[in-house]
Amino acid sequence: MSHVVSGLKLIRLVDIHDFVILWYNCITLDKYKQIMTVQEIKGKKCRWVHIDEVDETTESYLKENFKFHTLDIEDVVSEHQRPKVDIYKYYLFLIAVFPYYDKDKFKVRAREVDIFLNKDTLVTIAKNPNHFLDRIFERVNNSGKLKKLWVEKGASFLLYKVLEKLFHESHPPVDTVGRQISAVEDDVYDNELKSVARDLALIRRSVFTLRRVLEPQRFTINVLVNLDREFIPAEMANYFDNIHDYIEKTWAEVESHHDMVDGLHRTNESLISQHTNRVITTLTVISASLMPLTLLSGIYGMNMKILFVDEPIKVFALFLGVALATLTLVVLIIRSKKV
C-alpha cells in the first residue's frame, strides 16, 4: 500500500526507521506550503515569493532556499521589530510596518511585513495576518495584465508597486483618527467632560502609534531613493521618491493630529480645572451660609437665658428669617457671577 506525503508518493516500508529517513529526505517546498503557505509568481525577469505567516518552518525554508544573512532571518522569526533597512552587496532586507485601525479595540495597530530583494527575486513575509497584501498577490497572480505591468519590469519595480499599495492602504487609519478628533473637539467645547477625557486618551494612543510607525520609515524609504545597486538601479530613484513624498505628507497629517490632540487635551484640562474651581467655590459659599444657623443652634442648645428662649414660635421665626436671608445672599452672589 502507498501513501501520498507532501505531494510525493512514498512506498510503505517494513522498517519504521527507513520510513522516517525516507520521509525526511523527501521534504520539499510543498511541505512548507502546507504549513505556512508559500506562494510564487514567476515572470521572465523576476519572481515574487510570498509567505503569508511566520511559524517554526519559516527559518528552515529561508535558509534552505536563499542565501540571506542569518541575522536577517533571525529578525524575521523574532517578535515585533522596528522599521529598518539593511543593505548588502547582492540583496537588501527591509522591515516595513503599516498601521491599521482595530474597530473592536478602538485603536491603531501595526502589521509588519519583512521583505528581501535581490536582482531577480522579491520575497514578502507577512509577520501578522495581512489580508490586503494577500489580495495584492492574488490580483497579480490572477491578472496577466498586472503580471506584465509589475513582474515583467523587474524585482525592484515590483517592490515599488507593492510598497506603494501598502502605504496607500495605511492612510485610512489617519483619516479615522482625524474624524475622531473633530468629534471630540465638539464635545470639549460643549463641556462633555465625562466622556472627553477617555476619548482623548484613546485618540492620543492612536496618534502615538502612527508616529511610532511612520517616523522611522521616512528614513528607510529615503535610503531606497538614494540607492544604486544591482538589485535597485539608480533609475528607480524617482519611483521610491514618490513613496517617500507620500509618507512625508502622511507624516505631516499625523503631526497635525498630534498638535490638535495636545491642544484639546490642554483645553480640556483647563475646562476641568475651571469647573472644579466653580464647584469648590459653590460648596464654600454654601458652607459659609450655614454658619449663622449653626451658631444660633449652638447658642440655643446651651439652655442659656437669652432672647426668646421661652418663646419657641419666635425662635423658629428667627431661624427661618436667618435661613431666608442667607439663601437670598447666596442667590445674589451666584447671579452676580462671583461664583
* C-alpha cell belonging to residue 121: 527575486
pLDDT, residue 36, reads: 61
HSE (side-chain half, CA atoms, 13 Å) at 321: 7
Q: Is the pLDDT of residue 11 over 60?
A: no
153 and 29 within one domain: no
Q: What is the mean pLDDT of residues 12-41?
A: 48
Do residue 49 and residue 29 come from a single domain?
Answer: no
User: How many distinct structural domains can be found in the chain?
Assistant: 3
Average pLDDT, the chain: 83
Average pLDDT over residues 278-286: 79
Q: 312 and 174, same structural domain?
A: no
Q: 3 pLDDT exceeds 50?
A: no
Residue 11 DSSP SS3? strand
- The pLDDT score that the predictor gives to residue 319 is 77
Query: In 7-130, which ranges are continuous DSSP H helix?
Result: 16-25, 29-36, 58-65, 70-77
Q: What percent of the chain has pLDDT over 70?
A: 84
Residues 95 and 219 in one domain: yes
The pLDDT-based confidence of 91 (bands split at 50, 70, 90) is very high
Residue 13 confidence (pLDDT) above 70 = no
Is 278 part of any domain? no
Residues 213 and 330 in one domain: no
More confident residue, 57 or 293: 57
Same domain as 305, residue 259: no
- Residue 40 banded pLDDT, cuts 50, 70, 90: very high
Q: At 139, list the grid cell.
A: 490580483
Number of residues that this document lists for the chain: 339
Q: Does one domain contain both 12 and 124?
A: no
Q: Are residues 91 and 232 in the same domain?
A: yes
Which percentage of the chain shows pLDDT scores above 90? 51
The reported pLDDT for the residue numbered 338 is 52
Is residue 212 located within the same domain as residue 237?
A: yes
Q: Is the pLDDT of residue 23 over 60?
A: no
Identify the residue with better confidence: 192 or 29.
Answer: 192
pLDDT tens digit sequence for 172-191: 999 999 999 999 988 887 77
Q: What is the pTM of this model?
A: 0.74
The pLDDT value recorded for residue 88 is 95
pLDDT over 90 (residue 5): no
32 pLDDT higher than 50: no
Examine the domain organization and report whether 131 and 53 are in the same domain: yes
- Residue 305's pLDDT is 67
CATH number at residue 235: 3.30.460.20
Strand partners, 93: 86, 116
**Closest to 1 (Cα-Cα) out of 9, 11, 19:** 11
Residue 283 lies in a domain: no
Please give the pLDDT value at position 180. Answer: 93
Average pLDDT over residues 20-43: 56
Instruction: Report the side by side order of strands in the sheet with 107-118.
Output: 38-42, 47-51, 121-126, 107-118, 91-102, 84-87
Contacts of 237 (CB under 8 A, 6+ apart): 225, 226, 227
Write out pLDDT tens, residues 117-170: 999 999 999 988 888 999 999 999 999 999 999 999 999 999 999 999 999 998
- Supply the range of the domain harboring residue 212: 37-273
Same domain as 164, residue 52 = yes
